[in-house]
Chains A and B, each alone.
Chain A
Amino acid sequence: MAERERLNTRQRGTVFVPKSQLLSPEEVQRAVRRMAHEILERNEDVSNLVIIGLQTGGICFADRLAAVIQEVSGVDVETGTLDVAFYRDDVTIRPVLESAETSVDADLADRVVLLVDDVLYTGRTIRAALNALADWGRPQAIQLAVMIDRGHRELPIRADYVGKNLPTSQEEAIDATLDGVWIGTLVKK
């Protein structure tokens, strides 16, 4: 296993230390492709879709889904990025997160928004994203695609499209990118 440290830009002062690889890049690509088909199946009018990747881990998956959907259906789906740092409900007990860019050009009224994130865990990030989207107008519907669902939900949030279900313990951490999925721990720098 290659020693790999990815600086976790979401939380200042921590580093992800991998323990073992759970999915290879090929397995990730297959899962994304499969999700893209599921999305197309469920959303007849794919041009009404707006794919929004959550900073920072969801961006690569959002882009990849948009690319596969374009390949399969020929439609160029509009994309955007959303940073939820300012919408978290636990801002007093969690570190002040380094904020990243938000860019949502499309008018979301009456559109179907597909939120995309790398890992679904407690559900608080998604809840924050829902709060943020509420400030952008009123989408017709919001769907959620995640690469990994690791359980331990603290809120009634569920994903519509899941790359892989991976039960984990709370001491563990998951790192998911297009280069693969690792399980490991978060260590203070």
Chain B
Amino acid sequence: MTNPTLVIRGGLIVGPLESFLGDVLIADGRIVEVGSKVTAPSGAIEIDAAGCWVGPGFVDLHTHLREPGKESAETIETGAFAAALGGYSAVVAMPNTEPSLDSVAMVGYVLERGKSAAVDVAVAGAITIGRQGEQMAPIAKLAALGVRLFTDDGNGVQDAGLMRRALTYAQPLGVTLAQHCEDESLAQGGTMNEGASSSRLGLTGRPAIAEELMVMRDIELVRLTGCSMHFLHLSTERSIALVLEARAQGLPVTCEVAPHHFTLDETACETFDPEFKVHPPLRTAADVAALRAALRAGAIDAVATDHAPHTPESKDMAFDEAPPGMLGLEQAAGLTLEALGGAEADPLAFFSVLSRGPARVAQLRAQDVRVGHSAHGGAISVGEDANLVIFDPNASYVVDRDTLASRARNTPYHGRTIHGRARATIVRGRLVQLEGNLQ
């Protein structure tokens, strides 16, 4: 059964180098024509994209799909729906499931389940067995399945010796190790950023140095081993500066920032609402400003959501007992747009951090493409896989936690007006959502 032909009319077709107004014709999972007035065959679905940006579907480097093990919070299916509504055509599933994605069986399970999901599901394998930080997972075998990113996310690999070995082992395999940078002994089991706020509230803090010290360590290990490394959810001004300097020195490092880290700061925790609890924690206003400036300067490779669903019961606990993490797939694009300057933002920069940059890190581009995944983050040109988003930078809506596609409700943005919305998402040539309705 083939998908109907789609024609997108009158949008601003974006990048990678320049943008122009035009139409796009999609058939059989590919872009078949791009031009100023495309003729559509009969039976084609017309999508009006006037005033909208038409670009490659967003790619999330950092999604927690919770399956297997925590399906009460989210499943591959529901997470993919949330992604589609957010404008994503691909997500990379994090391995901190139960059991972890540290074996051929588990990775294979998620890849198989992902085939019927609304968006393309790639998998990040664990670096160590059970994410315990003690013994390396079968990285080569998982790479053979198509895994290109490895992380123990949820936690950073604490043992420097083990991290060095993993980088050394991974380097010739052409894969990237990704790190949740937080030294646990410095983080002292804290629940929010360490500072005047945490000290007044009587909450143990996670100091910035816990993140920054591990960033420093891993930069040096990359220098030593030559393996490429991706830094997950950098949250402080200094972390960004360290990685940018390393990159300037020619080291193979990339980085992502999460929307909550460039939108909210530590004062949100003053209500003791666990909705605002996350690791690494919300930081200072100065850090937020620095992250936004780095995004605008084009210094960040990717915006990644760290979409972390939790059941309402689990977030209805005391602040220090509740699990960390917030939802993000459905609002990430709008929040990124705001940080880049709103409707005046440069669409090239927008698609760079939301789609092209992450597609490169995840190795999901046409030149990287592997069996089981189509190509993402590409140019809008004839022959490319049709993974597209139609994004309206002038739309706005109020977030309602009860109408999210995600199974969970833990969004810190409930009641907030978001500017910018994905009006339609096309995955492998199929229209998966239109105007907020899953097709």
Do A and B interact directly, with beta carbons closer than 8 Å? Answer: no
Residues on A close to B: CB < 8 A? none
* B contact set with A: CB distance below 8 Å: none
